[in-house]
């Protein structure tokens, strides 16, 4: 037990500086992910309302080939998802529905790439900063003990580092949480539109099937 206490004390004597550098590293990685995701979503954007209008007009004309061409012109995930369904229109609505569901799962995975890191940093960076604060306070008490209770510049430095560690943890967490939530809302928005476009295609196929059977 005494050996463990000595090891923990030795660990605390390292101070909070390494914790702050760890937080800075996490922040750099997080910012890189944010920029990469922003660019990724920016280049895959499209006017989905106009896309929906175009698809509905083409489906009303029974122009499936035109639908395929129109979807191929779009870089959006919504278009890719619906395009996968158009590929199997000859196999019936059930096949189209299954293909849409599968492609939606793939698209969600692609859009959520690296977001888990942002969420983890956002949730845990304050606790990492708090760890630095605890370590800094322990070291400050050790310095206070060595100085026989006198307040020295070294003591104030340790206390300052301890407080800064918590502040850095919060500063790292705030943008990570904000962008994580933003990206999640954006993903839900895009998948909602993909579902709407897919339902338009399914409605067309089911209506066509009823006419043929009738």
- Provide Rg for the chain, Cα atoms: 28
- Say how far apart CA 163 and CA 185 lie, in whole Å: 34
Residue 54 placed within a domain: yes
Based on the structure, what is the number of domains in the chain? 1
CA-wise closest residue to 100 among 184, 194, 185, 190: 194
- Residue 4 structure tokens: 């463990």
Give domain status of residue 169, yes or no: yes
Q: For residue 213, tell me if it sits in a domain.
A: no
Which conformational region is residue 92 in: left (phi greater than 0), alpha (psi within -120 to 50 degrees), or beta?
left
Q: pTM for the full model? A: 0.82
- Residue 198 belongs to what domain range? 2-208
> What single string gives the DSSP state of each residue in 118-138?
HHHHHHHHHHHHHHHHHHHHH
Please report whether residue 67 resides in a domain.
yes
From first to last of its 214 residues, the chain has per-residue pLDDT tens of 545 555 545 545 556 677 888 888 999 999 999 999 999 999 999 999 999 999 999 998 989 899 999 999 999 999 999 999 998 888 888 999 999 999 999 999 999 999 999 999 999 998 888 888 877 777 766 666 555 555 555 556 666 677 778 888 899 999 999 999 999 999 999 999 999 999 999 998 888 877 777 6
CB 117 within 8 A of CB 101: no
Structure tokens at 130: 């708090």
**Does residue 214 fall inside a structural domain?**
no
């Amino acid at each position: 037990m005494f050996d463990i206490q000595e090891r923990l004390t030795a660990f605390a004597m390292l101070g909070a500086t390494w914790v702050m550098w760890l937080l800075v590293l996490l922040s750099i990685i997080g910012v890189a992910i944010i920029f990469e995701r922003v660019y990724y979503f920016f280049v895959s954007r499209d006017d989905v309302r106009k896309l929906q209008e175009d698809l509905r007009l083409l489906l009303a004309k029974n122009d499936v080939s035109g639908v395929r061409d129109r979807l191929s012109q779009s870089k959006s995930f919504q278009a890719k998802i619906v395009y996968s369904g158009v590929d199997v229109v000859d196999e019936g609505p059930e096949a189209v529905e299954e293909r849409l569901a599968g492609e939606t799962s793939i698209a969600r995975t692609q859009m959520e790439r690296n977001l888990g890191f942002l969420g983890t940093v956002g949730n845990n960076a304050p606790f990492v900063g708090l760890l630095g604060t605890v370590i800094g306070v322990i070291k400050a008490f050790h310095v206070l003990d060595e100085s026989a209770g006198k307040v020295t510049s070294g003591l104030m430095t340790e206390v300052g580092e301890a407080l800064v560690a918590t502040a850095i943890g919060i500063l790292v967490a705030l943008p990570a949480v904000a962008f994580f939530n933003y990206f999640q809302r954006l993903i839900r928005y895009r998948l909602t539109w993909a579902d709407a476009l897919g339902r338009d295609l399914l409605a067309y196929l089911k209506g066509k099937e009823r006419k043929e059977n009738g």
